[in-house]
Amino acid sequence: MTPTAPFDPTESAAATHLVLADGHGDRSLWPGHIAVPAGWHTVHGPASYAACLAHAEAAGN
Amino acid sequence: MTAAPAGTATAGGAPLTAAQSGMWYAQALDPDSPAQNTAECVEIHGTLDPARFAEALHRTVGETDALRVRIEDTPAGPRQFALEIEPSGHGFPMHAADLRDQGDPDAVARAWMRDDLADPFDLATGPLFRHALFRVGERRWLWYQRVHHIVLDGFGYALVARRVAEVYSALAAGEEAGPSPFGRLAELVAEDAAYRAGEAYEKDRAHWSDTFADRPDVPTLAGRGALPSRTFLRRTSTLGTDVRDRIETLAGAVRATWPEVLIATQALYVARATGSAEVVLGLPMMGRLGSAALRIPGMVMNVLPLRLTVTPQATFAELTRQVVLGIRAARRHQRYRYEDIRRDLGLLGERRALTGPLVNVMPFDYALDFAGAPCTAHNLSAGPVDDLTVNIYDRGDGGGLRIDHDGNPALYTARELAAHQDRFLDLLDRIAAADPHAPLAVHGIATAAERHLVLTEFNDTARAVPATTLIGPVEAQAIRTPDAPALVHGDLTLSYAQLTGRANRLARHLATLGVRPGAVVAVALPRSADLVIALLAVLKAGGAYLPLDPDHPADRLVGMVEDAAPVCVLTDVAGRLPETGPPTVVLDGLDLSAHLDITPPRALTPRHPAYVIYTSGSTGRPKGVVVPHAAIDNRLRWMQAAYPLTAGDRVLQKTPAGFDVSVWEFFWPLREGATLVVAEPGGHKDPAYLARTIREQAVTTCHFVPSMLQVFLAEPDAARCTGLRRVFCSGEALARETAQDFARVLPGVPLHNLYGPTEAAVDVTYHACRPGEDGPVPIGRPVWNTRLYVLDAALQPCPPGIPGELYLAGPQLATAYLGRPGLTATRFVADPYGAPGTRMYRTGDLARWTADGEVEYLGRTDHQVKLRGLRIELGEIEAALAAAPAVTGACVLVREDRPGDQRLVGYVTAAHPAPAPDPEELRTRLAATLPDYMVPGAVLVLDDFPLSPNGKLDRGALPAPTAVTGDRAPRTHQEETLARLFADALGLPSVGVDDGFFDLGGTSLLAARLVARVRDALGTDLTIGTLFQAPTPAALATKLGAGTGSADDALGVLLPLRPHGDRTPLFVLHPAGGISWCYSGLLAHLDAHQPVHGLQARGLVHDEPLPATLEEMAADYAGQLRRVQPHGPYRLLGWSVGGVLAHTVAVLLQEAGERVELLAMLDAYPSDQWRDQAVPGETDALTALLRMAGFDRTDELTREDVLGTLQREGSALAGLSERTLSAVVDIVVNNARLMRAHHHRVFDGEVLFFTAAAPRAEDWLTHEAWTPYVSGALRAHEIDCLHPQMTQAPHLDTIAAVLAARLKELDG
């Protein structure tokens, strides 16, 4: 069976993910095809998984 | 009715078509099964003439030769023969009844049909159909037909029904019905044969082999397979015309047909319900397009696999497109049989399925009338159901769509089947109302009611808690009960005042070093009172503690210190850790007298971090989990409310501080006025120590990782730990067997199963185990203020019973991974179901809800594993292996080659042409950076990794490691016994005396079993701790003090095989060679309290004159055994010459007035039978010596050759000195001489006799020869082996079992 977990890393360059932020400075990676939960807003993307991860890493430091 | 030689099926009969063959074999496998009965019931509304109906039916059947056959197995395979059918009333299989006078005519008719459906057809006699016509009202009739699927499919049913109606209507109108529209069976058979011989067949085969070349795993809703049952479960619903209209509109919008929309919907349902993007549905196809079969009512249908990829990103329109194209491709190759595809792919042998659920759309026009009387048709059985079939009927009668979910009752309950149907229809309804160009992620499979249940009702955990910290309640408690005992460690007891006073002084010292809220302090101390004081001090100063396990490799600890950058490192003695950046505070000798013993001031809030615990990281770097005070405070407040501790409770602290279970062990009792009992370092691995501590320290509360609980329960003293009031399990899946063992060993002690990751403050779910329950132990319900979500690939909630990934939300979530914001953002993600702006933690665990709101743990979604409760990212080990020079690729997995025996195994590939890496060097390298439990027990160097057809690593094809064992042979009987027990426990053919138990893959679970076996076999007091200290047979033998290095100790006249025990001793007498070690295999099978003593020949150790008569020898032995047991009753056993000796000793004892209650002989024969045989010489003696060791002599000529064989085969006898071996040869020769000269007297009693029953050269030997020398019965048991094999497993095991039963009788 092929798992399709929405947060699994992909090596694809396709713009599949977003980076969300809440009001407390938390960041969340987020799959682009799923509605953004209330209280969060997009701060980066849609972009590739790797680009989103890099953005979240940089934003937190 | 008689078999007719005429017709298309000639005298020799016609062959079956390929379609029929599969069904024939299925029926042959279970001839009495009615599973292949198909049946329909046609309800006719109006006036009907039953006689005319019967006539129409008979005529139609007469036109349908494919139906009129019987099928017999012949030497040429199964063939079908034509049957002559008698007219109605003269044997035609039709039942007619007028039920109008019955109370409920329909119910009576249905009951009759149900009974009839349970009746299997006899293929060999036929006929293979049966009809009934019931009148259930003035103007209502039920026409029932049952047909074996081998002669008719769904399309054929429709053809038959249409023709019957046509003929009836013609007869009613007084007209001729016109010529039969039906084709002949012979056409089907010919077409089938032509296809199979033609080009299209090969092309079709290639198409299907290509499409399924990678042999995909096929998800099913049940998640497992089963053989077809004889019956099926059915849930029926009707889709109203309004929904159907909407589906048709949607179908038009996406350029598809309504059946394709239904198939796409089922694919989406299966993908989400199974967590698999790859779905294979089975599509029954009528298989008649462009074929003569369009006119033939027969069995033609085929099931074809439809392979689809369903992702949440794709739209419904795209999914439907896949379905349309997939069906189009399948149609082009639809004549190739399902059974043939399975065979081509090699799935038959593995009993693997080709498809998941079937979707069977039957748009067969039933808009019939019988001379104006309209009808509606209902299917009663559509044939065997392997897994789950969705039958969709469009009868063309304007009544909407009927949908039957048929399930194999071996796989689905009625409730599960109904749930699958309800959700499918609900999903269909929502899809019909939604934008087909939106991502499929917008659709979940749960109904609205199920969503509410799993999101809201199951998570109703809100509970107001005060805003406190981990440490605040400890300090409050110390003020309430300053003099109560807070901590016990060995002889040391500290009161609350003493404990907090010391911690306060240290906290004040730490504050001077800069420790304050938000700061991290590393604590590297072994388990001790000082460890507890240090942790309290860090928290009191406002800091967060970072536990460093002193047993872990220094490199790993240094890595953590560098990562976490603590303000300082607290340790007990200098030099534990290499000097790194932060200052080290050494407690040993630290003078704190300048500091006050009162709580230091600090600005600590619940949001500040309380501790940082590192867990294994998949990228090769451990990650620090930062847990805030509010999180752990919520956890401990819930725990106190759920399991109230009182001042009298004593909680055992045995979990290493680096494992977060230790957090509640340390702080829960101190917050509640109970006492913390600190175990010795390393004590958590020793069940005997734990049992003793729990008893002596009156422990009421403790925790076990389930695998350690299993080990603990195997400890005899565990049952005496009756002071326990509650035991907690967590860390890995708790097996039901372990819970049941617990209830047996400690009845009345509650056992609680908890679950949670470090990222959510220890535990987030709880479940109380109850004796008598079965099935998997749930991880349970959410704790206070905690919500659990089981979500599918689209983050939609899974309904109860459907597996998904477990997500956690609530205040117990950790703050972050220390210094890893990217990683944090991928694991702590936005919560779509919580309050706005909140997070949820993605566990990576697979789970499902039960119907009543508990969660069951099902495994991992990734490569993280739990081994003996410890969390391991295989990626971290793989990264460490891959970093080694010359390694090009690495893979690590947990193997379970023996049930219950999980072990880590590493695999590497090497760069060519560099020399291959040495597995031991790799392990040593890993041990320098990884804790013990993360170092694979074996590393295998491979040329290449095995790949699956689609190029992925095929983990299942990685080889199991074969243990390489040493070759030093045992020197003593203890060593031999231990080596054999080691080998048994490890499942290896042999184990060398210097091989380490744990090196060979031993686990603590196996160790527990081994220790129990050793205790039974040798009657010695042994703990697992001893095994850890002495892990080889040689070392353990030394440790047990019995065999201190020299074989000579085991060559005395008396050999204490098991010296202790309260039963009457058993004396075993040596065979020809004079040594009794061969009986050690008896020990494991006899009662552990049964002492066993061997009697051995004189002359083995020192030069002594050999006995001159057998009588003299026996008298000597009688004297020896009386030293052990002065008076009877005696128990004697002997093999070969030993049996003759046992008889002689028994007679002597009886003559001395003693009672002998057992005389057992293993393949021993009286002197009379040997007297005329030549006395053996040196050569025969060597043969006998080899036999003693259990070998047949082949080409060994000299004593040296024999010695070589013994050494090569690892026999204990190989350890004997040259002198002793020479003595053995002399003893063999002497014994043979004495035995021939001996004259037996009569033993008064019965004899337990074991015959080596395999054919042998000395065929004159018979136990009957003892008859003159035994007054009682000779109870003979035949053992299927040769004489030399009698003392080897498994033959000795068989003997021991009989012997044990007899000894038990004697023990009364």
| Residue linked to tokens 């293929």 | B123
Strand segments, DSSP code E, in B736-834 are 751-755, 765-769, 781-782, 787-791, 804-809, 816-817, 828-830
Section B605-634 average pLDDT? 93
- Quick check: A3 and B274 CB within 8 A? no
Residue B1213: pLDDT band with limits 50, 70, 90: low
Q: Is the pLDDT of residue B877 over 80?
A: yes
- Quick check: A39 and B441 CB within 8 A? no
Q: Is the pLDDT of residue A14 over 50?
A: yes
pLDDT at B1021: 65
B525 in Cβ contact with B547 (< 8 Å):
no
User: What is the pLDDT of chain B when averaged over all its residues?
Assistant: 88
B941 in Cβ contact with B911 (< 8 Å):
no
| Nearest residue to B759 via CA among B631, B865, B927, B914 | B631
pLDDT at B9: 46
Q: Is B663 helix (H, G, I), strand (E, B) or coil?
A: helix
Q: Is the pLDDT of residue B1092 over 60?
A: yes
Window A:35-54, CB contacts with B under 8 Å: 35-40, 53-54
pLDDT, greater one: B1207 or B895: B895
Cα–Cα dist A12/A29, whole Å: 16
- Quick check: B830 and A2 CB within 8 A? no
pLDDT at B291: 76
CA distance A11 to chain B (A): 15
Section B566-586 average pLDDT? 88
Nearest to B837 among A4, A23, A34 (CB): A23
Nearest to A2 among B277, B805, B842 (CB): B277
Q: Is the pLDDT of residue B541 over 60?
A: yes
Cα–Cα dist B288/B33, whole Å: 28
pLDDT at B29: 76
Residues of A in contact with B214 (CB under 8 A): none
Interface pTM, i.e. ipTM: 0.97
Q: Name the token pair of B811.
A: 């205040």
Q: What is the pTM of this model?
A: 0.74
Window B:686-745, CB contacts with A under 8 Å: none
Tell me, what DSSP letter sits at residue A42?
A: E
pLDDT, greater one: B487 or B924: B487
Is the link from the previous residue into B127 a cis peptide, with omega within 30 of 0? yes
- Quick check: A35 and B832 CB within 8 A? yes
pLDDT per position as a tens digit, B1114-1171: 999 999 998 889 888 999 999 999 999 999 999 999 999 999 999 999 999 998 887 7
Cα–Cα dist B819/B564, whole Å: 8
pLDDT per position as a tens digit, B1056-1090: 777 777 889 999 999 988 888 778 778 777 887 88
Residue B1046: pLDDT band with limits 50, 70, 90: very low
pLDDT at A2: 36
Question: Could you tell me whether strands B675-678 and B726-729 are parallel, antiparallel, or unpaired per DSSP bridges?
Answer: unpaired
Section B1227-1237 average pLDDT? 86
Residues of B in contact with A29 (CB under 8 A): 825-826, 829
pLDDT at B1062: 83
Question: Could you tell me whether strands B14-15 and B77-82 are parallel, antiparallel, or unpaired per DSSP bridges?
Answer: antiparallel
CA distance B435 to chain A (A): 15
| Nearest residue to B592 via CA among B507, B513, B515 | B507
Residues of A in contact with B312 (CB under 8 A): 4, 6, 31, 33-34
Which residue of chain A is at minimal alpha-carbon distance from B816? A26
Section B215-222 average pLDDT? 89
Cα–Cα dist B1178/B1226, whole Å: 8
Q: Name the token pair of B576.
A: 């534990």
Chain A contact present for B951, CB below 8 A: no
pLDDT at B1185: 73
pLDDT at B1042: 46
Task: Mean pLDDT check: name the lowest of B435-449, B523-537, B1211-1225.
Answer: B1211-1225
Chain A contact present for B956, CB below 8 A: no
| Nearest residue to B361 via CA among B653, B155, B114 | B155
pLDDT, greater one: B1225 or B33: B33
pLDDT at B182: 94
B716 in Cβ contact with B747 (< 8 Å):
no
- Quick check: B837 and A28 CB within 8 A? no
In terms of phi and psi (left: phi > 0; alpha: psi -120 to 50; beta: otherwise), the region of B102 is beta
- Quick check: B275 and A20 CB within 8 A? no
How far from B812 is each of B631, B634, B759, B816, CA to CA, in Å? Answer: 4, 7, 8, 12
pLDDT at B443: 97
Chain B contact present for A11, CB below 8 A: no
pLDDT per position as a tens digit, B75-128: 888 899 998 888 777 778 899 999 999 999 999 999 999 999 999 999 999 899
CA distance B1033 to chain A (A): 45
Percent pLDDT > 70 in chain B is: 93
CA distance B819 to chain A (A): 8
| Nearest residue to B1053 via CA among B1086, B1102, B1109 | B1102
pLDDT, greater one: B276 or B1198: B276
pLDDT at B26: 80
Q: What angle do CA B1170, B1171, B1172 make, to 5 degrees?
A: 95
Section B316-321 average pLDDT? 98
Residue B874: pLDDT band with limits 50, 70, 90: confident
Section B578-595 average pLDDT? 89
Residue B999: pLDDT band with limits 50, 70, 90: low
Q: Is the pLDDT of residue B383 over 60?
A: yes
pLDDT at B989: 74
Tell me, what DSSP letter sits at residue B733?
A: -
Tell me, what DSSP letter sits at residue B969?
A: P
Residue B353: pLDDT band with limits 50, 70, 90: confident
CA distance B864 to chain A (A): 14
- Quick check: B837 and A60 CB within 8 A? no
pLDDT at B74: 84
- Quick check: B828 and A59 CB within 8 A? no
Count the alpha carbons within 13 Å of B1231 in the hemisphere toward its beta carbon. 28
pLDDT at B1208: 63
pLDDT at B526: 94
Q: Which residues contact B126 (CB under 8 A, 6 or more apart)?
A: B1, B68, B69, B70, B71, B83
- Provide the number of CB pairs (under 8 Å) joining chain A to chain B: 107
Q: Which residues contact B1218 (CB under 8 A, 6 or more apart)?
A: none
Q: Is the pLDDT of residue B968 over 90?
A: no
pLDDT at B6: 35
Residue of A16, A19, A20, A26 for testing the chain B interface, max B β-carbons within 10 Å: A26
pLDDT at B1045: 35
Percent pLDDT > 90 in chain B is: 57
Which residue of chain B is at minimal alpha-carbon distance from A25? B837
Section B852-868 average pLDDT? 82
- Quick check: B217 and A1 CB within 8 A? yes
- Quick check: B821 and A53 CB within 8 A? no
CA distance A21 to chain B (A): 8
- Secondary structure (H, E, C), B849-890: ECCCCCEEEEEECCCEEEECCEEEEHHHHHHHHHCCCCEEEE
Task: Mean pLDDT check: name the lowest of B716-730, B762-776, B1011-1025, B1231-1245.
Answer: B1011-1025
pLDDT, greater one: B796 or B981: B796
- Secondary structure (H, E, C), B466-518: CCCCCCHHHHHHHHHCCCCEEEEECCEEEEHHHHHHHHHHHHHHHHHCCCCCC
Q: Is the pLDDT of residue B17 over 60?
A: yes
Q: What sign results for the dihedral spanned by CA atoms B45, B48, B51, B52?
A: negative
B779 in Cβ contact with B753 (< 8 Å):
yes
Residue A1: pLDDT band with limits 50, 70, 90: very low
Q: Is B298 helix (H, G, I), strand (E, B) or coil?
A: coil
Dihedral of the CA atoms B368, B371, B376, B378 (nearest 10)?
-80
- Quick check: B441 and A59 CB within 8 A? no
Number of other residues whose CB lies within 10 A of the CB of residue B697: 18
> Which residues of B are known catalytic residues?
1283
Q: Is the pLDDT of residue B355 over 50?
A: yes
pLDDT at B1220: 79
Residue B1203: pLDDT band with limits 50, 70, 90: confident
Residues of B in contact with A47 (CB under 8 A): none
- Quick check: B830 and A36 CB within 8 A? yes
pLDDT at B1044: 36
pLDDT at B996: 75
Q: What sign results for the dihedral spanned by CA atoms B960, B964, B969, B974?
A: negative
Chain B contact present for A28, CB below 8 A: yes
Section B918-943 average pLDDT? 82
pLDDT, greater one: B860 or B1074: B1074
pLDDT per position as a tens digit, B902-926: 778 889 888 776 777 888 788 888 8
pLDDT, greater one: B292 or B240: B240
Residue A3: pLDDT band with limits 50, 70, 90: very low
* Number of residues that make up chain B: 1308
pLDDT per position as a tens digit, B1244-1268: 999 999 999 888 777 778 888 899 9
pLDDT per position as a tens digit, B971-991: 777 888 888 888 888 877 778
Dihedral of the CA atoms B374, B378, B383, B387 (nearest 10)?
150
Nearest to B825 among A2, A6, A19 (CB): A19
In terms of phi and psi (left: phi > 0; alpha: psi -120 to 50; beta: otherwise), the region of A37 is beta
pLDDT, greater one: B223 or B670: B670
